Amino acid sequence: MKIGIFGSSTVAQTIGSKLVNLGHEVMISSRDLDKAKDDAPSPAEWATTNSAQAGSFAEAAAFGEILFNCTAGMHSVEAISTANLNDLDGKILVDVANPLDFSGGFPPSLSVCNTSSLGEQLQSAFPELKVVKTLNTVNANLMVDATRVSSPTTIFIAGNDAGAKSQVKDTFLTAFGWKDIIDLGDITNARATEMYLPLWVRLYGTLNTADFNISVAR
Ligand SMILES: NC(=O)c1ccc[n+]([C@@H]2O[C@H](COP(=O)([O-])OP(=O)(O)OC[C@H]3O[C@@H](n4cnc5c(N)ncnc54)[C@H](OP(=O)(O)O)[C@@H]3O)[C@@H](O)[C@H]2O)c1
């Protein structure tokens, strides 16, 4: 399957590499294909190394049969707005981003919360997309390999389209090793998983590792 990824940094490259390994064709995207990231190669270099492609946000939208949002949440609407709307029509957008606002330093605050969420902002800005919020509650390495932590843990999914959620579960979450998948309901439930981030960043600061996740015992 052809997967277009909005974004080019750690999350885009980690998900992109996993999807290539699973046999998908992948294009990551950026405003500058030759600029190296803080802790990752440039998009162009990553594409060469991973037998994948790199392009603009608009080119990734056109390329992908399914799309991933791996951009900084505060700028996701802006990034996806550069796509041709015809290239979004009817496609699933797997939204793994968080609306983290680092303008006040660490820990970050959320640029949207309580009465809305990034997932909802995206669904509202791009009604032609089927937005599925998932994987945003774990680190990039854990997103694509649920077995990195010792005991089975929980991942959440939310979105308005039942068929889209089912396809994301079957095509990606299961392939990434997730077994305990809790469907929270429609896209308004993205608020809940995004509002977990204030706890996530504090756990990260305390545990000194990003290899952790919660398990919902019941
Ligand atoms: N890091 C993790 O393990 C992790 C875990 C869970 C969720 N997330 C979420 O996943 C997303 C990606 O995280 P990340 O750590 O890979 O990278 P990031 O630094 O949060 O985001 C980098 C991406 O955002 C784009 N971007 C930034 N400012 C932009 C602007 N003004 N206009 C358009 N695009 C802009 C960048 O585009 P350019 O390439 O053009 O610079 C780049 O592709 C974030 O929303 C993050 O909260 C991250």
Q: Average pLDDT by consecutive 10-residue portion of the chain (218 residues)?
A: 98 98 98 92 98 98 99 98 98 99 97 98 98 99 97 97 98 98 99 98 97 97
The verdict on whether omega for the bond into residue 41 sits within 30 degrees of 0, i.e. cis, is no
Mean pLDDT computed over every residue of the chain: 98
* Distance of alpha carbon 166 from alpha carbon 163, whole angstroms: 5
Q: Tokens 């909802």 identify what position?
A: 120
In the reported structure, the alpha carbon of residue 218 is separated from the centroid of ligand 1 by a whole-number distance in angstroms of 34
Pocket of ligand 1 (CB under 6 A): 7-12, 30-32, 70-73, 75, 78-79, 96-98, 100, 136, 139-140
How confident is the model over 68-116, as pLDDT tens digits? Answer: 999 999 999 999 999 999 999 999 999 999 999 999 999 999 999 999 9
The residue behind tokens 């046999």 is 23
pTM beyond 0.95, yes or no: yes
Helix (H) or strand (E) holding 185: strand 180-185
> What is the pLDDT, as a whole number, of residue 79?
98
Q: Are 42 and 33 in contact (CB under 8 A)?
A: yes
8, 11, 213: residue to mutate for ligand 1 pocket, most atoms within 8 A of CB: 11
